[in-house]
Amino acid sequence: MITSTLLIIAQAVLVPALSPLCIGIIRKTKAVMQNRIGASIFQPYRDLNKLFHKDEVVSTDATFIFRAAPFIVFATTLVVAVSIPLLGTFIPHLGTSDLLAVLYTLALGTFFLALGGIDVGGPFGGFGASREMTLASLAEAGLLLSLFAVARIAGTTDLISIPHALLALTHPALLTAALAFFGFFVALLVENARYPFDNPATHLELTMVHEAMLIEYSGKRLGLMEWAAANKLFIFIVLGANLFFPWGVAATLTARTIALSLGLLFVKAFFFCFAIAFLESTVAKLRLFRLPDLLLLSFIASCVAIIFTL
Amino acid sequence: MFSLLAKIARTPNTVIPTAAFIDTDTELQAVGAQLEKKIQKLFRGSLAIRQVDVGSDNAAEQECIALGNAYYDVERFGVHFVASTKHADMLMVTGPVSRNSRAALIRAYETTPDPKIIVAVGDDAIDGGIFKGSYAIEGGVSSVIPVDFNIPGDPPSPKDMICHLLRILGAVEEKNGGNPGVHPSPQPSPREGRGGNTPKGRNAAK
Amino acid sequence: MTTFILSQTGFVSLFAIFATGAIGALLLSRSDAAANWWGNLFAIIGSLWGIALGAAALAGNQTLSYSTTPILSPLPALDFSIDNLSALFILLISSIALLASVYALEYVKHFYGRYSIGALGFFYNLFIASMLLVVTASNAIVFLMVWELMSLTSYFLVIYDRAEKKNTQAGLQYFAMMQLGTIFVAGAFILLYHFTGSFDFDAMRATAFQIPTLWQGVIFFAALIGFGIKSGIVPLHIWLPDAHPAAPSHVSALMSGVMIKTGIYMLIRVLVDFFPMPPLWWGVVVLAVGAISSVLGVLYALTEHNLKRLLAYHSIENIGIILLGLGSALMFSSLSMPALAALALAASLFHTINHATFKSLLFLGAGSVISKTHTDNIEEYGGLAHRMPQTALFFLVGSMAISALPPFNGFFSEWLTFQSLFAGINSGVSSLTVSAFLLAAGALALTGGLALACFVKAFGVTFLARPRSPHAEHAKESGFFMQVGMGTLALSTLALGIFSGKVAGILQTISASFFAPVDAPALVAHTAALSVQHGFASVSGVALFALIAIALFITFVASTYGVYRRQRVVLGRTWDCGAPLTPRMELTATGFSRTIIMIFKRVLRPQLHVAATYAEGNTYAPISRTAEFSVTDIFREYLYQPAAALTLKVSELIKQIQSGNINAYFLYTFLALIGILCMTLI
């Protein structure tokens, strides 16, 4: 009982603690590829610290949605944080780690993010919400089916149990996993507003998707929104690392296995961050009407992956 | 793509070292009240700048843009530019405040959350510069909103801007172990015609 | 008490209550307020009785039958029976009718002085009574009578607000489609009578499996089309988006929430109950129809700017999702997997209940908004969350439920539907069935995403930002009864979500009765959790709700009080880049959905008409330009209008017979007589 509670708290604390580091690594890699030094990898922590110490300016047009949305978005990332195999497959199953439950809990966050963007009645939040919902609705099928492909191989849709089940297989289904991973990676890019779907560092409102919805937030609410976005990226990276490359995921609660599991997770996450930063430095952002083609490709790859599991 | 990667690998790192910005004798022009130590420490870790153009001839903006390039690389000091005034800690105002942009500047000032720092960049923004006395301008940012610091120059070079920024943030003091090097000299600020905007609690957050 | 409710007297008194309400309202029609209160009060009492009846019948878990001997011999015996499925639907219809009637106590005031409130009370009570009769009829003739009664009373309710021409046209179209549906339904029942020799449902259930396969197929299509028209499947849905906005909002809530579900009830009765071993292609056809209805329903909903038409298209989408569950059940039944068939049917029933709850909530909310702003165009709303905060909150809950967001009920029924589709993929019988399930799962995922987008638009443009028109600026919150109606539905969506385990368990017991008995049911439901297929998947409603609430609390407390307590929140302006913000600068619903419409332009066929008016003789500087962005309704253009044109052409041809010449008519009579004589000789 106490161990379970401690494990839950540990995961709920670990995800927000480590997610700004991912963002920092991505920015640092991009800076190095641009021949600059760039900010340190701990800069996002300082940014968040500063934001939490600032006042807020809230528009008079804003309703309770605008004020509540950052808390809801952050809370959904915390709920998902305790439902993913971060420390290992021994964490307690609370009934929220089903793949559909995780995806729709994240969708709850997206819903309030988009509504918060529309709420202030500025021109940017509205079209940011429109684009975000277009991309999110088209991406959902590919993401769901790619995770389902892995669930089929593992024999369970419970995300926490999948890595252990995959390691226990005698015949690893590499082609299926590769195709499903492609589908998943495209969904990771679109859900976290990365290239080629969105530019997280742009200042041109006409090119924004995610940033446009945050444009009216300030102070602690902005801090919560940025942190929630970082959490979501980290959650997707953990899922991508531990579900598709399950080697080293701890199955038992001992210090050695956890240390090995976390260490390997850091290595895998570093590769993911490097891959995202690499994409952002070499590939151009695609035009909005080209993106559904890419999302359809993700869906087809996931479908083919499922067909290969038969 | 491979040629791009090869080029990235081949190009040498040309970033100007931090020492070049700290060892000069730049004098800080502090126009408003002294910046609180706690706020200085907070912003030293992370500063979000919003660049506001109120009728500028784009000379100062070009220099601001150059701050982010591979030579000056202001991001390594924790400074980054943001797209919205609500995200900003510092407003870098350029231009002599044309009459039509007066209301816009006041709105930008009001929507920036406290604590904030207002910096007038360039001679135009300080008192009108080469446009001083023109019928089409208000005559310097300080005649519209309360300014904290000036960065003189027409336009100020990126090196000057970074020197001033580091001194505003107290990074020089920190580096020199509490010794500011050159004492900032407060100058009286002309505040007529500001339109009755006296915000309370600015820079008072602890 | 329970025995009295379940007895024949109790059953008859249920309808007596509604009859009293109907006739009394009509007699009191001179006084609007009296007619309103009488009609709705009796509807409330009748609904409470219906809830008691449904609950008692479900708890008793046995089939009850009532029948009366006919007074005059040609009339059939009035046979009614309540098995678990009927009891569930009685409970559902009564609950929604109860809350709609409470809402109507105040909403109908909006019609005082314009139309006869007595007539509204009359048809409303008869409508609810006829729906209850439809789900309990156990004789084909009785069924057809009450089915027609339901269509007729709802027709009068649709055309109630007859000052608007489009309402009467919508009513006529609705009536025509209902008659078309009744023809197909009657055809199906006549065929069943022909092969089983009886109109009684019990007899049909016992002997329907002996019907030759070809005729079984014909009955299948007749039933699917006939009941599908009532449910609003694509391409038979053409009446739905016009009829639901025309009716008063509490009636729309009933029509969309429960009336179209009676079509689903009969589909389950005929396809699942009568035929224990259906061919595989039945399930595939229903699955395909469900997938197409759900995707097309939500795509057309995205194009709508009339709030009630948008909600009507979402009903089509959700009927599609219910049919996905039903189609899976049929497929599992033909593949001899009764455990999975029970699971799929339970998913279908759960979504039926959930949709009834949240769709009624949304329609009642829409009614609240429309009655206060006097317009139904979303583009004229805005900022209503400041002016109508409770309606906004309830509409938000409805939007979250319909978008399948945890912890509300929509998520759990979609979860179950997904699980039945996943079970189909896992069963791996043949590549064709697996592909069918896979594509259905993809369609369901796409639908869920698009529904979320559509409700961001609907809720956002209606309630958030600034008012876009004077209508919205002067709106005020609705009164007590309307809020009670909406609030109770909102609470029940949350309750159904948290206790989804319990509810799903009950539904599986109900659905398992239609299939062969199994040792290990596919769904293991505890109070706190649902678990499917020996632990392949499990989810817990209680855990989701608790975790979200705890996380929200911790986040709020930690960020507000934990870091920097003296933070101030200053009220300021929206960042407008320095230019004053007008309502024209806000997001419009057209703008929001335009991207998705352009992505799906092959299906939706958007059209842009640009016109300009010029001054006299000057073609260079126009006085005004209009740009009209519209979406083609491909069903109306390529299916219904050609069919209507063909019908008219055939009627023109047949009209030739009516030459007006009496000698020709004598010739026709003579030929008919010769024909009959020949037929008797052969």
Q: For residue C470, which phi and psi values (nearest 5 degrees)? A: -60, -30
The chain A residue lying nearest C597, using CA atoms, is A134
Tokens of A151: 């669930």
Give start and end residues of each alpha helix (H) in chain B: 2-10, 19-22, 37-45, 59-66, 102-111, 123-127, 158-168, 171-175
pLDDT of C561: 85
Q: Measured between CB atoms, does B110 come within 8 Å of chain C?
A: yes
Total count of domains within chain B: 1
Query: B101 to chain C: which residues are within 8 Å by CB?
Result: 578
pLDDT of B177: 65
Domain ranges in chain A?
2-308
Contact C478, C368 (CB under 8 A): yes
Give start and end residues of each alpha helix (H) in C466-580: 470-473, 480-498, 500-512, 541-557
Contact A144, A99 (CB under 8 A): yes
Identify which of C64-68, C346-350, C539-543 has the greatest average pLDDT. Answer: C346-350
Whether the pLDDT of residue B204 is over 60: the answer is no
Query: A141 to chain C: which residues are within 8 Å by CB?
Result: 442, 445-446, 449
Q: Do A49 and B45 touch (CB under 8 A)?
A: yes
For an interface test with A, the pick among C599, C600, C604 (most A C-beta atoms closer than 10 Å) comes out as C599
Judged by DSSP in three states, B51 sits in strand
Q: For residue C38, which phi and psi values (nearest 5 degrees)? A: -60, -50
Query: A104 to chain C: which residues are within 8 Å by CB?
Result: 404-406, 411, 448
Domain range enclosing B31: 26-173
Average pLDDT over residues C441-454: 95
Total count of domains within chain C: 2
Confidence of residue C71 (pLDDT cuts 50, 70, 90): low
Q: Do A43 and B4 touch (CB under 8 A)?
A: no
Whether the pLDDT of residue C183 is over 90: the answer is yes
Number of CB atoms found within 10 A of residue A254's CB: 12
Confidence of residue C614 (pLDDT cuts 50, 70, 90): confident
Tokens of B148: 């904290």
Q: What is the DSSP string of A116-174?
A: HHHHT--HHHHHHHHHHHHHHHHHHHHHHHHHHHHHHHHT--BTTTHHHHHHT-SS--H
Query: B104 to chain C: which residues are within 8 Å by CB?
Result: 577-579
Nearest partner of C517 among C682, C342, C680, C672, judged by Cα = C342
CA distance to partner chain B, nearest, from residue A202 (Å): 8
Whether the pLDDT of residue B191 is over 60: the answer is no
C240 vs C303: CA distance, rounded Å: 15
Q: Name residue, tokens 């030094």.
A: A37
Q: Do C536 and A79 touch (CB under 8 A)?
A: no
pLDDT in tens, A157-171: 899 999 988 888 878
Q: Do A140 and C445 touch (CB under 8 A)?
A: yes
Confidence of residue C460 (pLDDT cuts 50, 70, 90): very high
Q: Do C579 and B205 touch (CB under 8 A)?
A: no
Among residues C634, C649, C666, which one ends one of the domains?
C634
pLDDT of C382: 87
C384 vs C392: CA distance, rounded Å: 7
Confidence of residue C523 (pLDDT cuts 50, 70, 90): confident
Whether the pLDDT of residue B189 is over 70: the answer is no
For an interface test with B, the pick among C563, C567, C569, C570 (most B C-beta atoms closer than 10 Å) comes out as C570
Q: Do C586 and A60 touch (CB under 8 A)?
A: no
pLDDT in tens, C353-375: 999 999 999 999 999 999 999 99
Query: B86 to chain C: which residues are within 8 Å by CB?
Result: 575
The chain C residue lying nearest B202, using CA atoms, is C568
Q: Measured between CB atoms, does C570 come within 8 Å of chain B?
A: yes
Q: Measured between CB atoms, does B111 come within 8 Å of chain C?
A: yes
For an interface test with C, the pick among A79, A132, A191 (most C C-beta atoms closer than 10 Å) comes out as A79
Confidence of residue B161 (pLDDT cuts 50, 70, 90): very high
Q: At what angle do helices C409-427 and C307-334 cross, to 10 degrees?
A: 30
Residues 501-530 of C with CB under 8 A from A: 528-529
Nearest partner of A48 among A16, A76, A25, A86, judged by Cα = A16
Domain range enclosing C611: 587-634
Interface A–B counts its CB contacts (< 8 A) at 90
pLDDT of B198: 38
Q: Strand locations in chain A, DSSP E?
A: 56-59
Q: Do B103 and C578 touch (CB under 8 A)?
A: yes
Contact C537, C531 (CB under 8 A): yes
CA distance to partner chain A, nearest, from residue B77 (Å): 7
pLDDT in tens, C478-504: 889 999 999 999 999 999 999 988 899
pLDDT in tens, C258-316: 999 999 999 999 999 898 888 999 999 999 999 999 999 999 999 999 999 999 999 99
Interface A–C counts its CB contacts (< 8 A) at 264
C5 vs A120: CA distance, rounded Å: 54
pLDDT of B193: 34
- Choose among A43, A211, A219: nearest Cβ to B78: A43
Tokens of A159: 């995300």
- Choose among C428, C441, C449: nearest Cβ to A310: C428
Nearest partner of B172 among B19, B47, B64, judged by Cα = B19
Q: Chains touching chain C at 3 or more Cβ pairs under 8 angstroms?
A: A, B
C659 in a structural domain:
yes
Nearest partner of C578 among B144, B108, A203, judged by Cα = B108
List of residues 6+ apart from B174 with CB closer than 8 A: B44
Q: Measured between CB atoms, does C660 come within 8 Å of chain B?
A: no
Average pLDDT of chain C to the nearest whole number = 90
CA distance to partner chain B, nearest, from residue A44 (Å): 9
Number of CB atoms found within 10 A of residue A270's CB: 16
List of residues 6+ apart from C444 with CB closer than 8 A: C291, C294, C321, C324, C414, C417, C418, C421
- Choose among A95, A126, A307: nearest Cβ to C587: A126
Whether the pLDDT of residue B97 is over 60: the answer is yes
Q: Name residue, tokens 């892995």.
A: A150
Q: Do A122 and C547 touch (CB under 8 A)?
A: no
Average pLDDT over residues C420-432: 87
Nearest partner of C475 among C364, C574, C391, C573, judged by Cα = C391
C460 vs A130: CA distance, rounded Å: 11
Q: Do B205 and C572 touch (CB under 8 A)?
A: no
Q: Measured between CB atoms, does B87 come within 8 Å of chain A?
A: yes
Cis peptide before C235 (omega within 30 of 0): yes
Higher pLDDT among residues C534 and C327, named by residue: C327
Pairing of strands C530-532, C537-539: antiparallel
C598 in a structural domain:
yes
> How far from each other are the two terminal CA atoms of chain B, in whole angstroms?
50
CA distance to partner chain A, nearest, from residue B90 (Å): 12
C586 vs C600: CA distance, rounded Å: 24
Q: Measured between CB atoms, does C575 come within 8 Å of chain B?
A: yes
pTM for the whole structure: 0.92
C612 in a structural domain:
yes
The chain B residue lying nearest A223, using CA atoms, is B87
pLDDT of A259: 92
For an interface test with A, the pick among B84, B110, B202 (most A C-beta atoms closer than 10 Å) comes out as B84
Average pLDDT over residues C643-662: 90
pLDDT of A262: 92
- Percent of residues, chain C, with pLDDT higher than 70: 99
Tokens of A35: 């021949």
